[in-house]
Amino acid sequence: MRTPQKWEDDCVLEIGPGLGSLTRYLAVSAKQVTAVELDFDLLAPLRAVLSPYQNVRVVHGDILKLSISELIDQPNYIVAANIPYNITSAIIRHLLEGDIKPRRVVLTIQKEVAERICAKAGDLSLLALSVQVYGKPSIAAKIPAGAFHPAPKVDSAILRIDIYDEPLIPRDLLNTFFKLTKAGFGQKRKTLRNSLASGLHIPTTEAEALLTSAGIDFMRRAETLSIEEWKVLCDKR
């Protein structure tokens, strides 16, 4: 992962530093680095590698179980991470619902997943919505599998997410938003009427009435709805 510029005035939260390859670069580029590592066996070698850098703090723990305010004391920090795609949305939501919010998140993830996150309305997924409600994603660079040793089976990408000052869905509706979208995407190839009825455990007539009240054709599928349409649906729910 290459950073586009120096971050002298920034605090960086790194998730999954491993043996510190990126951490060392961040240490000379940023004001302060907090590196959170889950694997206990990596802590000793990681701390040894980072011992020359006085502005780096290594924390052992699961980022999803740690309070962000205990890790970072400055708002508008930057997150750098190399994480499994299946916990991407959970980590982003954890970061953005904390007391102290980042201004940017930079992830190294599978290229295919990065492209899914950047999808437009008409081809949206639950993962894409979970990210795009909080910030604007873009692919900063693509990394061929051969750039790593040992080479993985898939290409990777650097995904940059610039965080909005406020989510596109009002905070008091976020829980409703996630319940609705999870239900909507819960039944592949089903219409919204049927998937919402199944996911919310309500009669199909009630799901149909909900969609109609929001001005949404109940025969559409979840991936075709924009965030604004989901917002209207949340208002009606």
pLDDT, position 96: 80
pLDDT digits (tens, 9 = 90+) for 208-217: 999 999 999 9
- Domains annotated for the chain, with CATH where assigned, are 7-163 (3.40.50.150), 171-236 (1.10.8.100)
pLDDT, position 91: 87
- Mean pLDDT in residue range 174-179: 96
pLDDT digits (tens, 9 = 90+) for 1-46: 444 456 677 899 999 999 999 999 999 999 999 999 999 999 999 9
Calpha distance 22→15 (Å, rounded): 11
pLDDT category of residue 98 using cuts at 50, 70 and 90: confident
pLDDT category of residue 169 using cuts at 50, 70 and 90: very high
Instruction: Identify which has the larger pLDDT, 96 or 67.
Output: 67
Calpha distance 31→19 (Å, rounded): 20
What percent of the chain clears pLDDT 90, i.e. is strictly above it?
A: 76
Choose the weakest-confidence range: 20-24, 85-89, 136-140, 158-162. 85-89
Mean pLDDT of the residues in the chain: 92
pLDDT, position 5: 53
